[in-house]
Amino acid sequence: MNSNKFSTIKTGISLRCFPVFILLFLSACTKNFLEHNTDPGKATNEQLKYDNLGLGGFITQMQTEIFPVLNNKENADVNNYQLIYSLMGDIYSGHQGTSNAFNNNGVNNSTYAMVPDWYGAAFANAYTNVMSPWFDIKGRSELSSPSTYALAQIIKVMGMHRITDTYGPLPYLKFSKGSISTPYDAQEVIYNSFFEDLNVAIATLKDFVQKNPGAKPLAKFDLIYGGDFVQWLKFANSLKLRLAMRIANVNPAKAQLAAEEAISAGVMLGNDDNALLKVNGVSTVNPLFTITYAYNDTRMGANMESFLKGFKDPRIGLLFNKSALPAGSVEDYHGIRNGSRFSGRDYSSFSTLNVKLNTPVQWMTAAEVYFLRAEAALRNWSAGGTAQALYETGIKTAFSQNIGGDGKAAGDASTYINDGTSKPAAYADPKTPGNGVAANSPNLSTITIKWNAGSSFNVNLERIITQKWIALYPDGQEAWSEFRRTGFPKIFPVVNNLSNGLISSDKQIRRSPFPQNEYLNNSAAVSQGISLLGGPDHGGTPLWWDKRP
């Protein structure tokens, strides 16, 4: 495929350049948010020591770039967010659909014609804005401020698990800022290091909390928990549980051990524990607002319409807005099926996302944790409750969470939980008759909401994952990973598959190819990475943990 034909994402806004691997650490295309929370050209080393100034800015940078949220020049972070999430996991999970054919007539990621300048963005951003500041924190605080380093380790694992879950093997364990060439590590090795790093970080923060009750040394820089290490301990254990379930099919013994350790140590239990990145709507923003309303590039996905309408889910009006399609019809919710071909922004009249500039960005919630525990219990692991009880608590917790641009909760979940008849709805494209014939689809699943102890393992697993998939919104990256791991929920395949046979429409996309810059500047290492991948470097090759029995 000729990558030169894809030079921009949207008319009038140029693609931000993405530095080659060897230059990632010398210059950044996304602005490196106040690296020291002040002008680095004026701050002295002595000043940087004051009030954690030299470390806290790096913590903020990491937090604001895992999901890029800075309101900066040329919408750099919004564009990065769009490339990293909106045109990757958000659509591959079925959460959202592209409402813009861009200037390539739909020949892009949404139809599996992978665009190099798009799929390389996550890699570049991760090394510039997660690994690089982490390395600075490591050099300055590993011994002098163990608690700060522990927090950086947790945030690094949060950021980099999303990157390895996108690409597979990565340059990771031997990463060094400014290195010319870094070897790749197998994904299994990277995951093992995640667990090791989390275990050490958890022990370090636990010791700090015991010795310094109530202390919040990074309160000024932590945009999630305000420096509350007690909350970070819950998050770290919850993240450990998420990663444990990810490897359940390839290393069930290790997965069970890690999951049970995490649950026993203390995970998120209520919505007060939710990890939400706070944005003020001015200097930091929720990028989905701009992508939805200023760019007109994303809308509700067809699967969201299918599940929310089919289940009569009251959250639909909290997460999305109605649209009138066709013209003059009664307002209703309409989602876009991925892989649909159309001109320009013909699908921009579909349901917009209910999001505002200051809507918090979701990292992880207690509802997700209950669904993780429900799956653990389904596997007969020690999860602190039965699969049914944890599953139902997950739904109740999701219904009591403030969501959407208005920050409202769905309320009582009793009727929903006891609904044993509603099923996902069929999908009909109301916009373009010619395209609609191809995009229309019967419902792929007959799963119901009410728990059925007599159902098979797979049916109850689908039940759990489907509800978790809804609760994960708008984190399509994590939803895509869980779809790949479990096969649930059942996602509509792309209408048009333009991968030239590299990606199966039935199995759907499994990963992103490695960035082109790696081939140009780290060729020996990326060749090693492909050998560790165990298959060709394209979107049809499954990752290490992507092995369903």
Evaluate the omega torsion of the peptide bond into residue 252 and state whether it is cis, within 30 degrees of 0: no
Phi, psi at 260, each rounded to 5°: -65, -35
Q: Which structure tokens are listed for 321?
A: 């807005």
Phi, psi at 359, each rounded to 5°: -70, 125
Q: Is 295 exposed, middle or buried (0-12, 13-18, 19+ CB in 10 A)?
A: buried
Distance CA 479, CA 94 (A): 9
AA identity, residue 3: S
pLDDT given for residue 54 in this prediction: 74
pLDDT under 50 in the chain at which residues? Answer: 1-51, 434
Name the E strands within 361-421: 361-364
Which residue in 240, 256, 235, 201 sits closest to 376, CA to CA? Answer: 256
Distance CA 62, CA 68 (A): 9
Domain extents in the chain: 55-533
Distance CA 443, CA 450 (A): 18
The tens digit of pLDDT for each residue in 141-189 reads: 877 899 999 999 999 999 999 999 999 999 999 999 877 789 999 999 9
AA identity, residue 346: D
Distance CA 137, CA 246 (A): 28
The tens digit of pLDDT for each residue in 232-254 reads: 999 999 999 999 999 999 999 99
Q: Which structure tokens are listed for 28?
A: 């950044």
Distance CA 456, CA 383 (A): 19
Distance CA 530, CA 538 (A): 10
Angle between helices 366-378 and 252-265 (to 10 degrees): 130
Name the E strands within 329-377: 361-364
Phi, psi at 171, each rounded to 5°: -75, 110
Could you count the other beta carbons within 10 Å of the beta carbon of residue 380?
10
Report CA Rg, the chain: 22
Please determine, looking at this structure, whether the domain spanning 55-533 carries the CATH number 3.30.70.100.
Answer: no
Residue found by looking up tokens 């013209």 in the block: 327
* H helix intervals, 266-349: 287-289, 302-310, 316-319
pLDDT given for residue 46 in this prediction: 41
Phi, psi at 167, each rounded to 5°: -105, -35
pLDDT given for residue 30 in this prediction: 31
Q: Evaluate if pTM is beyond 0.75.
A: yes
Measured over the CA atoms of residue 539, residue 542, residue 546 and residue 548, the dihedral's sign is positive
